[in-house]
A and B are shown apart, each in its own frame.
Chain A
Amino acid sequence: MNANVANTIAHETIFSTRNLTKTYKMGVVEVQALRGIDMEIYASEIVVLLGASGSGKSTLVNILGGLDTATAGQVHYRKVNLTEASESELTSYRRLSVGFVFQFYNLIPSLTARENVAIVTEIAEHPMKPEEALALVDLEERMDHFPAQLSGGEQQRVAIARAVAKNPDVLLCDEPTGALDSKTGIIVLKALQKVNQSLGTATVLITHNVVIGGMADRIISLHDGKIAGIRENKVKRLPEEMEW
Chain B
Amino acid sequence: MRAINRKLFRDISNMWGMVFVIALMIICGSATYITFLSTLDSLRQSQESYYQEYYFSNVFASLKRAPNALASRVREIEGVNRIELRIQSGVNLEVPGFDEAVTGMVTSLPDEREPLLNRLYLREGRMPNPYVENEIVLGDGFAEGHGLSTGDKLMAVINGRKKELTIVGIGLSPEFIFQGQPGNTSGDLLRFGIMWMRRSPLEAAFDMDGAFNNVVLSVTRGTNEKDVIVQLDQILKSHGGLGAISREDQNSHFFITEEFKQLKQTATIIPTIFILVAAFLLNVVISRLVRTQREQVGILKAFGYTNYEIGIHYSLMVSVIVLIGLAGGILLGHDLGQRLSALYASYYRFPFLHFEINLWDLIAASFICMAAAYSGVFFSIREAVTLPPAEAMRPEQPKIYHKSILEKMGASDLLDQPTKMILRQMGRQRMKIVFGVLGVAFAIALVMLGRMSNDSVKYAVEVEFRQANLFDLGVSFREGISKHAIMEIQRTPGVYYSEGYRSVPVRMIAGHRRYLTALEGHYTNMKLRQILDTEQQPVEIPVEGLLMNKTLGEILKVESGDTITVEFMDGSGRMAQIPTVGFIHQYFGLGCYMNIEKLNSLLPEKSLVSGSYLAIDRAYEDEITAFLKESPFVGEIISKHRMIERFYESTAQTWLIIALFISLFAGATAFSVVYNNARISLSERNRELASLRVLGLTRGEISYILLGELAIVVLVAIPIGFFIGWGITYFTLWSMQTELYRIPMNITAATYALAALVVIVSAVFSGWLVRRKLNRLDLIGVLKTRE
Do A and B associate with each other?
yes
Of the candidates B4, B302, B306, B786, the one whose C-beta lies within 8 Å of that of A65 is B302
Return the contact of A106 from the options B14, B391, B393, B781 (Cβ within 8 A): B393
Instruction: List, in ascending order, chain B residues with CB within 8 A of A155's CB.
Output: 785
Known contacts A95-B304, A107-B785, A147-B785: A118-B3 contact under CB 8 Å: yes
Question: Which of A5-13, A38-46, A86-94, A200-208 forms contacts with chain B?
Answer: A86-94
- Of B7, B391, B781, which is within 8 A of A148 by CB? B781
Is there an interface contact between B2 and A122, defined as CB atoms closer than 8 Å? yes
C-alpha gap A98/B389 in the complex (Å):
14
Whether B304 pairs with A110 at a CB distance below 8 angstroms is: no
Q: Does A100 contact B (CB under 8 A)?
A: yes
List of A residues within 8 angstroms of B6 by Cβ: 111, 115
In the assembled complex, the CB of B80 is this many whole angstroms from the nearest CB of chain A, namely: 75
B3 and A94 contact, CB distance less than 8 A: no
> With a CB–CB cut-off of 8 A, which chain A residues contact B3?
111, 115-116, 118-119, 122
| Interface-lining segment among B104-112, B184-192, B243-251, B293-301 | B293-301
User: Is the C-beta of A73 less than 8 angstroms from some C-beta in chain B?
Assistant: no
Report whether B299 and A94 are in contact in the complex, using a CB–CB cutoff of 8 Å: no
Tell me, in angstroms, the Cα distance from A152 to B783 when the chains sit together.
11
When the two chains form their complex, are residues A68 and B14 in contact, meaning their CB atoms are under 8 A apart? no
Known interface pairs A107-B785, A115-B7. Does A123 touch B388 (Cβ–Cβ under 8 Å)? Answer: no
B10 contacts chain A at the CB level, 8 A cutoff: yes
Contact residue among A58, A69, A100, A148 (Cβ-Cβ distance under 8 Å from B303): A100
Instruction: Tell me the nearest residue of chain B to A120, going by C-beta.
Output: B303
Contact between chains at A92 and B304 (CB < 8 Å): yes
In the bound complex, what is the Cα–Cα distance between A119 and B402 (angstroms)?
40
Report if B739 contacts A (CB, 8 A): no
Shortest beta-carbon distance from B417 to chain A in Å: 26
B302→A100 contact, CB < 8 A: yes
A108 at the interface (CB under 8 A from B): yes
- Write out, one digit per residue, whether chain A residues 119-143 have a CB within 8 A of any chain B CB (1) or not (0): 1101110000000000000000000
Collect the chain B residues with CB atoms within 8 Å of residue A58's CB: 390, 394
Bound-state Cα–Cα, A115 to B785, Å: 16
- Residues A68 and B303 in contact in the complex (CB < 8 Å), given A108-B7, A110-B14, A118-B3: no
Scoring B residues 1 to 23 as 1 if CB is less than 8 Å from chain A, else 0, what string do you get?
A: 01110110011001000000000
Q: Are B389 and A67 interface neighbours, CB within 8 A?
A: yes
For residue B311, give the distance in angstroms from its CB to the closest CB of chain A. Answer: 13
The answer for the CA separation of A174 and B307 in the assembled complex, in Å, is 24
A148/B785 contact (C-beta < 8 A), A122-B2, A122-B3, A123-B304 known = yes
Given A119-B3, A122-B2 in contact, is the A102-B303 Cβ separation under 8 Å?
no
Contact with A along B157-171 (1 / 0, CB 8 A): 000000000000000
- Choose one: A96, A105, A106, A152; the contact of B304 (CB below 8 Å): A96
Q: Which residue of A lies closest to B4 (CB)?
A: A119
Question: Which residues, 374 to 403 on B, are CB-close (under 8 Å) to A?
Answer: 388-391, 393-395
Point out the residues of chain B lying under 8 angstroms from A96, CB to CB. 304
Within 8 A of B (CB), among A57-92: 58, 62, 65, 67-69, 87-88, 91-92
Tell me the smallest distance from the CB of B155 to a CB of chain A, in Å: 77
User: Given A104-B786, A111-B3, do A123 and B10 touch, yes or no (CB 8 Å)?
Assistant: no
Inter-subunit contact A123/B785 (CB<8 Å): no
User: Is B787 part of the contact surface with A, judged by Cβ < 8 Å?
Assistant: yes
Tell me which of A62, A108, A147 has the highest count of chain B C-beta atoms within 10 A of its own C-beta: A108
Q: In the complex the two chains form, is A111's CB within 8 Å of B7's CB?
A: yes
Within 8 A of B (CB), among A142-159: 147-148, 152, 155
Q: How far is the CB of B143 from chain A (nearest CB, A)?
A: 63
A164 and B751 CA atoms in complex are apart in Å by 64
A102–B393 touching, CB < 8 Å: yes
Minimum C-beta distance from B446 to chain A (A): 34
User: Chain B: which residue is nearest A163 at the CB level?
Assistant: B303
Contact count band on B: 20 to 34
Closest beta carbon of chain A to B245's beta carbon, Å: 70
Q: Chain A residue with minimal CB distance to B385?
A: A87
Contacts of A105 in B (CB 8 A): 785-786
Residue B784 lies at the interface, judged by CB distance under 8 Å to chain A: yes
Q: How many A residues touch B, CB cutoff 8 Å? A: 39
Asked whether B731 is an interface residue with its Cβ less than 8 Å from the other chain, the reply is: no
Say yes or no: A62 contacts B390, CB within 8 Å: yes
B784–A94 touching, CB < 8 Å:
no
As a 0/1 sequence over residues 281 to 305 of chain B, the CB contacts with chain A under 8 angstroms (1 = contact) are 0000000000000011001111111
List, in ascending order, chain A residues with CB within 8 A of B388's CB: 62, 67-69
Return the chain A residue nearest B395 by Cβ.
A104
Of B2, B4, B302, B781, the residue contacting A94 (CB under 8 A) is B302
Question: In the complex the two chains form, is A111's CB within 8 Å of B10's CB?
Answer: yes
Selected contact of B10 from candidates A92, A93, A110, CB within 8 Å: A110
> In the complex, which residues 301-338 of chain B have their Cβ closer than 8 Å to any Cβ of chain A?
301-307, 309
The answer to whether A106 touches B7 (Cβ under 8 A) is: no
A159–chain B nearest beta-carbon distance, Å: 10
Cα distance, A96 to B784, chains bound together (Å) = 29
- Report whether A106 and B10 are in contact in the complex, using a CB–CB cutoff of 8 Å: no
Given that A68-B390, A118-B3, A122-B3 are known contacts, is A95 also in contact with B784, CB under 8 Å in the complex? no
- Whether the pair A94, B390 counts as a contact (CB closer than 8 A) is no
Contact B305 A106 (CB under 8 A): no
Report if A109 contacts B (CB, 8 A).
Answer: yes
Name which residue of chain B comes closest to A174, CB basis: B393
Q: Which chain B residue lies CB-closest to A115? A: B3
Q: In the complex, what distance in Å separates the CA atom of A148 from the CA atom of B779? A: 12
Centre residue among B2, B3, B305 by max chain A CB count within 10 A: B3
CB distance from A90 to the nearest CB of B (A): 9
Q: How far is the CA of A111 from the CA of B11 in the complex (A)?
A: 9
Name the residue on B nearest A119 (C-beta).
B3
> Are B390 and A67 in contact, CB atoms less than 8 angstroms apart?
yes
Alpha-carbon distance A186/B377, docked complex (angstroms): 43
Smallest CB-CB separation from A68: which chain B residue?
B390
Q: Roughly how many angstroms separate A120 CA and B299 CA in the complex, as a whole number?
A: 10
Q: How far does the alpha carbon of A176 sit from the alpha carbon of B300 in the complex, in Å?
A: 19
Residues in B neighbouring A69, C-beta threshold 8 A:
388
Complex interface residues of chain B between 710 and 762 (CB less than 8 A to chain A)? none
B302–A123 touching, CB < 8 Å: no
Which residue in chain B gives the minimum CB-CB distance to A151?
Answer: B784
Contacts of B391 in A (CB 8 A): 68
Q: Are B784 and A148 neighbours in the complex by a CB distance under 8 Å?
A: yes
A152 to B623, CA, bound (A): 92
Chain B nearest CB from A101 CB (Å) reads: 11
A110 touches which of B11, B303, B306, B395 (Cβ 8 Å): B11
Query: How far apart are A25's CB and chain B's nearest CB, in angstroms?
Result: 14
Of chain A, the residue at the smallest CB distance from B305 is A123
Of chain A, the residue at the smallest CB distance from B299 is A106
Determine if B306 and A91 form an interchain contact, defined as CB atoms under 8 angstroms apart: yes
Most buried by B among A88, A94, A119, A162: A119
**In the complex, A209 has a CB within 8 A of chain B:** no
Taking a contact as CB atoms under 8 Å apart, the answer to whether B786 and A122 are in contact is no
For B786, the closest partner residue in chain A by CB is A104
Bound Cα distance A88, B385 (Å): 12
Instruction: For B14, list chain A residues within 8 Å (CB).
Output: 110
In the assembled complex, the Cα of A200 lies from the Cα of B389 at a distance in Å of 27
Which of chain B's residues have a CB closer than 8 A to the CB of A110? 7, 10-11, 14
Question: Is A103 an interface residue when CB atoms closer than 8 A count as contact?
Answer: yes
Which B residues have a C-beta under 8 Å from some C-beta of A?
2-4, 6-7, 10-11, 14, 295-296, 299-307, 309, 388-391, 393-395, 781, 784-787
- Offer 25 A-B interface pairs, CB within 8 angstroms, sorted by A: A58-B390, A67-B301, A88-B306, A91-B301, A92-B304, A94-B302, A95-B303, A95-B304, A95-B305, A96-B304, A100-B303, A105-B785, A108-B7, A108-B299, A111-B6, A115-B3, A118-B2, A119-B4, A119-B7, A122-B2, A122-B3, A123-B303, A123-B304, A123-B305, A147-B785
The residues of A with any CB-CB pair to B shorter than 8 Å are: 58, 62, 65, 67-69, 87-88, 91-96, 98, 100, 102-111, 115-116, 118-120, 122-124, 147-148, 152, 155, 162
Instruction: Identify 5 new A-B residue pairs, CB closer than 8 A, beyond the known A69-B388, A94-B303, A95-B305.
Output: A68-B390, A68-B391, A91-B301, A105-B785, A119-B4
Top 3 nearest A-B pairs (CB, nearest first) are A95-B304, A110-B10, A67-B390
